[in-house]
């Protein structure tokens, strides 16, 4: 009898975490490493949120809570959906979990049966396909390349839908490309979905607040109210409120689904951390002005990185609408040899040689299902970004 489960054979560990660990190991040996792999803001959680957490501890809010969230937080989440997205939800339609990740996982676990298909535009956040596999479903990646700004077209969506399609996972602005769908682009997709009533929509709005220039964020149930009854609108405090370590994510959708997700959570982790829930409550109900400050900061960094990468030989870097990632194309670098003698056979070889020869850690495109590219997370200081991009430029100049 095998000790490890067959389920484990279907999934692989997160490549983004692997790159971060490799960069950490190299740095520990004294190498000058700039890590651009991790997907989290580089600044601290706002003070009012930390204070609310301290208060919660002092007031003894340290016991089990309702499995899928304290009533005050659920109420605040309903108010957020109304205020920011024009969506009406009641607390019974809301679930709070241990990070956005657990929310998505619960929803897939609660709904997927063997043979059920889940459409995932590629490049995708690394965890989507593996979570689908863990839940027993079949991921159906659909390549949305640089020629469409990394956005799925309505024709592609239509062609990917089969009678077995249960979910369409939609993520805008996207990890790893930063691509954001305009209202019209999203409406064209929801028009397709309206014709296929068996398909549910999982909208991962994690980067909602990180949008640039005059881009207007919209979510599927908001753009097409006809999809409200089969949309799970997912979000969280991790990225917008610099709260990655607190582990609070949430969603809203039809009561039957929310109840089923609660059942999964009740038999796995129970409630998300009580103190973190009070911190998230302060995040959602306290002052929101730092969101605009952070947006401006990230926009400046995006401009810096996109500008410098497009000056690198063999790199084409589109200008993303949001998030804190860029996903440059390196087709022109493939097949070349680095100054250090490495053959750049694919994007993984590019990322490995870049790390070994320049100390810059990026995540290769194959991890996100679309190559040849790499992802940079620009959630780090301007100085580090300038230095990293200069090293990438000289690495590319050395390719022959």
Ligand X SMILES: Cc1ncc(COP(=O)(O)O)c(C=O)c1O
Residues forming the site for ligand X (CB under 6 A):
39, 99-101, 125, 171, 175, 204, 206, 236, 238, 244, 249
Nearest distance from residue 159's CB to ligand X, in Å? 24
C-alpha angle with apex 312: 341 to 323, nearest 5 degrees?
Answer: 115
Structure tokens at 295: 């947006």
Nearest distance from residue 35's CB to ligand X, in Å? 15
- Could you write out the DSSP letters of every residue in 247-316? --EEEE--HHHHHHHHHHHHTTT-S--HHHHHHHHHHHHS--HHHHHHHHHHHHHHHHHHHHHHTSTT-B
Nearest distance from residue 166's CB to ligand X, in Å? 19
165 strand-pairing partners: 117
Residue closer to ligand X (CB basis): 135 or 353: 135
**Dist. CA 78–CA 87, nearest whole Å:** 8
**Element holding 196 (H helix, E strand):** none
Nearest distance from residue 319's CB to ligand X, in Å? 19
Report residue 370: phi and psi, to 5°. -150, 125
Residue closer to ligand X (CB basis): 102 or 190: 102
| Residue 317 · residue 326 · CB < 8 Å | yes
**Dist. CA 279–CA 347, nearest whole Å:** 40
Nearest distance from residue 236's CB to ligand X, in Å? 4
8-state DSSP, 322: B
Residue closer to ligand X (CB basis): 129 or 236: 236
Residue closer to ligand X (CB basis): 95 or 171: 171
Is the CA virtual torsion 29, 32, 38, 42 positive or negative? positive
Contacts of 203 (CB under 8 A, 6+ apart): 170, 171, 219, 220, 221, 231, 232, 233, 234
Nearest distance from residue 400's CB to ligand X, in Å? 36
Nearest distance from residue 238's CB to ligand X, in Å? 4
Using Cβ positions, the residue closest to ligand X within the complex turns out to be 99
Residue closer to ligand X (CB basis): 38 or 157: 38
Nearest distance from residue 219's CB to ligand X, in Å? 14
Residue closer to ligand X (CB basis): 125 or 298: 125
**Dist. CA 65–CA 63, nearest whole Å:** 6
Q: What is the largest CA-CA distance in the chain?
A: 64
Closest listed residue to residue 308, CA positions, set 246, 397, 224: 397
Residue closer to ligand X (CB basis): 236 or 359: 236
Residue closer to ligand X (CB basis): 17 or 66: 17
Residue closer to ligand X (CB basis): 121 or 236: 236
**Dist. CA 270–CA 264, nearest whole Å:** 9
Query: SS3 for 214?
Result: coil
Nearest distance from residue 204's CB to ligand X, in Å? 5
Query: SS3 for 379?
Result: coil
């Amino acid at each position: 009898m095998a000790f490890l489960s067959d389920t484990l054979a279907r999934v692989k560990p997160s490549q983004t975490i692997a790159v971060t660990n490799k960069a950490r190991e190299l740095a520990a040996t004294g190498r000058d490493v700039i890590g651009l792999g991790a997907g989290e803001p580089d600044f601290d959680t706002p003070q009012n949120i930390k204070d609310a957490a301290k208060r919660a501890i002092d007031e003894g809010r340290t016991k089990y809570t309702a499995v899928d969230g304290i009533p005050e937080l659920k109420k605040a989440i309903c108010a957020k959906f109304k205020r920011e997205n024009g969506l009406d939800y009641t607390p019974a339609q809301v679930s709070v979990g241990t990070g956005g990740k657990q929310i998505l996982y619960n929803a897939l676990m609660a709904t997927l049966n063997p043979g059920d298909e889940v459409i995932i535009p590629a490049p995708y956040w690394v965890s989507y396909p593996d979570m689908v596999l863990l839940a027993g479903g079949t991921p159906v990646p659909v390549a949305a390349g640089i020629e469409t700004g990394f956005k799925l077209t309505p024709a592609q969506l239509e062609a990917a839908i089969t009678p077995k399609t249960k979910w369409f996972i939609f993520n805008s602005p996207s990890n790893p490309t930063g691509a954001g769908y305009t209202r019209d682009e999203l409406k064209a997709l929801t028009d397709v979905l309206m014709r296929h009533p068996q398909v549910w929509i999982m909208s991962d709005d994690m980067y909602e607040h990180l949008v640039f220039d005059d881009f207007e964020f919209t979510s599927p149930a908001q753009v097409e109210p006809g999809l409200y009854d089969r949309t799970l609108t997912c979000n969280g405090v991790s990225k917008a409120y610099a709260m990655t370590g607190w582990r609070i994510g949430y969603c809203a959708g039809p009561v039957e689904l929310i109840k089923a997700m609660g059942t999964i959570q009740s038999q796995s982790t129970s409630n998300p951390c009580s103190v973190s829930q009070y911190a998230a409550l302060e995040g959602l109900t306290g002052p929101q002005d730092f969101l605009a400050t952070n947006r401006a900061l990230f926009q400046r960094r995006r401009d810096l990185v996109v500008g410098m990468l497009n000056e690198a030989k063999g790199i084409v870097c589109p200008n993303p609408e949001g998030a804190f990632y860029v996903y440059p194309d390196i087709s022109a670098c493939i097949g070349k040899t680095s100054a250090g003698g490495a053959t750049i056979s694919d994007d993984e070889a590019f990322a490995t040689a870049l790390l070994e020869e320049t100390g810059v850690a990026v995540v290769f495109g194959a991890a996100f299902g679309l190559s040849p590219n790499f992802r940079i997370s620009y959630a780090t200081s301007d100085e580090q970004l300038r230095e990293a991009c200069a090293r990438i430029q000289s690495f590319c100049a050395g390719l022959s």
